[in-house]
Structure 1
Amino acid sequence: MGAGDAQAGEHPGLDAQIDQWRSYVQRRRAVSTADVDEMTDHLRGQVADLTAAGLDDDEAFLVAVRRMGNLDAVSREFAREHSERLWKQLVLVPDGPAEESGPAWRELAVVLAFAVGAGIAVKVALAAFDTDAVLLRNVPLMTAPFLAGYFVWKRRVPWRAVAALGVPYALLAVVLNVYPYVETGSTLMLAVLHAPVVLWALVGVAYVGGRWRAEEPRMDFARFTGELVVYVTLLALGGGVLIGLTAATLGLVGVDIEPALESWILPFAVPGAVVVGAWLVEAKQDVVENIAPVLTRVFTPLTTLMLLVTLVVLLTAGDLAAADRDLLILMDAILVLVLCLLLYSVSARDSLARPGWFDGLQLFLVAAALAVDAVALTAMLTRIAEFGLSPNKVAALGLNLLLLVHLARSGWLLLGFLRDRRPFGALVRWQTRFLPVYAVWAAVVVVAFGPVFGFA
């Protein structure tokens, strides 16, 4: 490696090209850091040989990269030759000397402390609050600080940024617990549904280390959110099977674990699973990012088919003003699912790759979602014109308008990318810039809807 380094060291421009190539290789998660080092060493050696043969720096670099082969093929080859690494990465603590595993064990201890802390907070809330309405307001408030605390510790977030996060958190807690909501009213339920969105935005600020204005960290947080859903779902399924088998076994000897399940297991397991899931996403990013493209390719066509069926149901439902309210709520849920799937797909895609058939399928998915959203909006406006305003209608209308703008612009940018008129990065930037709007709207619903609609 010495000769290659000496040769490269004489040409800062060549070093910059090699660093750019190395960064591109590192985005191919099938190639480990050690392999990237080995490939970079080999590339430098190739460049040194070619420059010694009389080629200039740019020519030597281009020829050497071409000799390295197609990068996708290189990634697949490394994945085949070192596939056991994917299994090794599933081990909680990596193999290695004690001094190397020490930090991993320390992080595991910190994660478990935050998970247990979240469980204790939820348990205290269950014991302290005597009504379901008050409990629903406070359980998310009890859990979010521990998840954010893990990222504050992990990212070494400055205390000034932590204090800034505490202000909106405290304001949200005051609003949820001081507002004189009618316990059976719509504004309380809307506040309960939208408060987690605001809390998740605050967790996102902790996740990016306070760099919320930067676009790339925002997209990382969007990808993290999707991966966390995957991990928490897996933990929930595994935990459900384990609890079911344990209950069945103890039931044979006359022991009922339902009281313990309600009083102890679930209060600790649910918030604990979120914190542990976040740690797993952080620790196993290489594995999950190999799963992400597979998930998007499986669920995109299925979701598209579901949207087409939904559109047919809406169009054949007759009078839009008489459309069932539950059907419209279901439409919103499906549209949110489409948006999440689009975000996950965008975050998992290589922005340097050429347009392909899957990008065309995503454009069709967005077009179908826009058609469903247009019909749903028409039904909502018709119902508002006939029956008047209500908190639920205004909240649903606001969400649908945001989805309409977000999806319409996404479809336009995706169409431009497919026609080679815009880079894929434009679509990525639009996602990251629009995401905070949802948190702002959720905050408006929580803070303003109660006073505006008389807390009913």
Structure 2
Amino acid sequence: MTGNDTELEAQIAEWRAYMLRRRAVSGADVDELEDHLRERVADLTETGLRPDEAFLIAVKRMGRMDELSREFAREHSDRLWKQLVLTDEDASAAAERRRGLLVMVACAALAVLAVKLPALFGLGLDDDPAFYVRNLGLLVLAPLAVYFAVRRKVHRGTVIALVGLFALGAVATNAYPLDEDSQSIVLTSIHLPLALWLVVGIAYAAGEWRSGQKRMDFIRFSGEWFIYFVLICMGGGVLAAITVGTFNAIGIDAEVFISEWLVPCGGAAAVVVAAWLVEAKQSVVENMAPVLTRVFTPLFAVTLVAVLVAIAVTTNAIDVERDMLILFDLLLVVVLALVLYSISARDPGAPAGFFDWMQLALVVSALLIDVLVLVAITGRITEFGFTPNKSAALGENLVLFANLAWTAWLYWSLVKGRKKFARLERWQTDYVPVYAAWAWVVVLVFPPLFAFA
């Protein structure tokens, strides 16, 4: 047993003694909590953290589910924080961090290569934009899957599954005869990245996709990845503007470099870099999820209520043309993502409060808008028949309706004290495969079903 292992066992022993001493808790309950703690520590050490760091973060996260762990973290916060910040890294931990950085750099370079290599075969951004419309998600997400596969040391069976699913997406998007102005190519370009993002989730979970905890961790990762990606893109936009202005000042046109190299290559690399930043941030005890959800949940709730009031006052029906369908579906997806992110950030052991009522209002408002969209889509299909766009929108809104309806019921039961938060969390993690299945149906089945129109 190494020194780190000995120290970790001592920390767990102290935690266990605390649990048994403070309250009348059975040994079996403490054993169950200890198993959960060890599982979290193991997951965190696989990302490159030292065992003592992993223990501190695991205790902090368990404090969201268990009051005793929360008290332990609170009473030991000063000592634990100093230990986290001031303890020197051992050689193996430092080496693992360097390895993680090298893997990130290599996968980011692979992403850059993926978006520029097709140009050597006459498939540049200007030569064949339809190729990038179909394949952009494939090109930038495959290196991200490689990053997690290497970092998590996934088993051969998981690697085969990942390769097979990405190959399936590549065949579907390139073998089908999709015209540039067809509805099918638009649907494929939207749904293939979603399907492949959930494939990345399999790599993130090291193949343990059946674990509800792993799925919730991936949901939390997705939200934080999006935040980092947006921040990187904003910084990249500033860099591009400064570059153009600076070179224009000396009589050199840099727009070609910006459009053909900086933007596509930087965006592709940012997909991997953002993931690495999320992983590196795990050594920080607090995260940004609670703050963001409490800022945006009221704003979106007010916006949706305003939309419903406007529809009621004006009696205007929802426009179900393609652009409007995409807009309303995007709104519902953003609301659902906000709900998922809020659930991932909520303290499971906390009693229902005002914020849960706000979440319920948000979900109910989104549900009502979804019903109005479904009514409008059904009316247009009845009048004009099925098209790829309307059929996809109908299916997506039905999928969202099922989730939102049951989520609203679970939130209502939560605020009334009838059900525990764990039921709501489990429902969301169990529903993730439904989104993946629907995305693959649109990519694989819809084009031939509608004669590639």
TM-score normalised to structure 2 length: 0.82
Decide whether the 8 Å contact of 1:355 with 1:417 is kept in 2. Answer: yes
Whole-Å separation in 2 of the counterparts to 1:249 and 1:321: 47
| Aligned position for 1:17 | 30
Residue by residue, what CA displacement relative to the aligned partner does 1:114-164 show, whole Å, maximum 9, x if unpaired?
001110110012443232112211222222221001111111111121112
Matched ranges for 1:154-233 at <5 A: 154-233=151-230
Match of 2:114 in 1: 121
**Which secondary structure does the structure 1 equivalent of 2:417 belong to?**
coil
CA distance in 1, matches of 2:367, 2:54: 44
The answer to whether residue 413 in structure 2 is matched with residue 416 in structure 1 is yes
Indicate the SS of the match to 2:445: helix
Query: For the residues of structure 1 that align with 2:296 and 2:235, how far apart are their CA atoms?
Result: 22
3-state SS of the aligned residue for 1:273? Answer: helix
Q: Distance in 1 between matches of 2:73 and 2:53?
A: 18
CA contact (8 A) 2:320 2:377 kept: no
Opposite residue 267 of structure 1, the aligned amino acid is P
- 2:278 is the alignment partner of 1:281: yes
1:291-370 alignment, distance < 5 Å: 291-316=288-313, 318=315, 320=317, 325-370=322-367
**Which residue number corresponds to residue 427 of structure 1?**
424
Shift of 1:414: 1.2
Letter aligned with residue 298 of structure 2: P
Q: Are the structure 2 counterparts of residues 382 and 171 from structure 1 closer, same or farther at C-alpha, using a change threshold of 3 Å?
A: same
Residue 266 (structure 1) aligns with? 263
Match of 2:452 among 408, 431, 455: 455
Give secondary structure in 2 for the equivalent of 1:320: coil
**Change in 2 beyond 3 A, CA 1:393/1:289:** farther
Contact 1:320 1:382 in 2 (8 A): no
Which of 379, 383, 388 aligns to 1:382? It is 379
Could you tell me whether the CA contact under 8 Å between 1:126 and 1:135 is conserved in 2? no
Matches within 5 A, 1:87-98: 96=89
Aligned residues of 1:235 and 1:273 also touching (Cα < 8 A)? yes
* TM-aligned CA deviation for residue 322 of structure 1: 5.8
Contact 1:195 1:446 in 2 (8 A): yes
**2:225–2:275: 8 Å Cα contact kept in structure 1?**
yes
CA distance in 1, matches of 2:130, 2:264: 17
Residue 105 (str. 1) matches residue 98 (str. 2): yes
**Kept in 2: contact 1:187–1:449 (CA 8 A):** yes
Q: 2:54 & 2:391 partners in 1: Cα distance?
A: 54
CA deviation map 1:419-456 (0-9, x unaligned): 22111110011001111111111111111111111111
Q: Give the number of aligned pairs.
A: 415
1:236-276 per-position Cα deviation (integer Å, ceiling 9, x unaligned): 11222223223222222122221111222122211110101
Relative distance call for 1:8 and 1:373 in structure 2 (3 A) is closer
Q: CA deviation at 1:338?
A: 0.5
Kept in 2: contact 1:180–1:455 (CA 8 A): yes
Alignment check: 8 A CA contact 2:318 2:373 kept: no
Shift of 1:357: 1.1
Identify the range of structure 1 (390-399 vs 346-355) with the bigger mean alpha-carbon deviation. Answer: 346-355
Query: By how many angstroms is 1:416 displaced?
Result: 1.1
1:250 aligns with 2:247: yes
Amino acid at match of 1:186: Q
Distance apart, 1:390 and its partner CA = 1.0
Separation in structure 1 between the aligned mates of residue 395 and residue 54 of structure 2, nearest angstrom: 49
Q: Residues of 2 paired with 1:207 and 1:429: CA distance?
A: 19
> Counterpart of 1:170 in structure 2: which amino acid?
A
Taking the aligned partners of 1:35 and 1:132, their CA distance within structure 2 comes to 46
Which consecutive unaligned segments of at least 5 residues does structure 2 have?
Answer: 1-9, 45-50, 60-66
Q: Is the 1:321–1:382 Cα contact (8 Å) retained in structure 2? A: no
In 1, Cα distance between equivalents of 2:137 and 2:277: 21
**Structure 2 match to 1:50:** none
Q: 1:195·1:442 contact (CA, 8 Å) conserved in 2?
A: yes
Q: Name the CA distance, whole Å, in 1 between partners of 2:149 and 2:70.
A: 42
Question: Cα 1:325–1:293, aligned 2, differ >3 Å: closer, same or farther?
Answer: same
SS at match of 1:284: helix
Q: Distance in 1 between matches of 2:182 and 2:321?
A: 20
Q: CA deviation at 1:397?
A: 0.7
- SS of equivalent to 2:287: helix
Is the Cα contact below 8 Å between 2:53 and 2:283 reproduced in 1?
no
Please report how far the alpha carbon of residue 96 of structure 1 lies from its aligned counterpart in structure 2 after TM superposition: 3.8
Contact 1:413 1:422 in 2 (8 A): yes
* Rounded Cα–Cα distance in structure 1 between residues aligned with 2:88 and 2:246: 36
- TM-score w.r.t. the length of structure 1 is 0.82
Q: Contact 2:319/2:325 (CA < 8 Å) preserved in 1?
A: no
CA deviations on 1:68-115 (whole Å, 9 max, x unpaired) are 99568658x659x95998xx79xxxx9645554222112101110100
User: Hey, what's the Cα distance between the residues in 1 that align with 2:283 and 2:175?
Assistant: 45
User: Measured at CA, do residues 217 and 23 of structure 1 come closer, stay the same or move farther in structure 2, by a change above 3 Å?
Assistant: closer
Pairing 1:391–2:404 present: no
**8 A Cα contact 2:322 2:389, kept in partner:** no
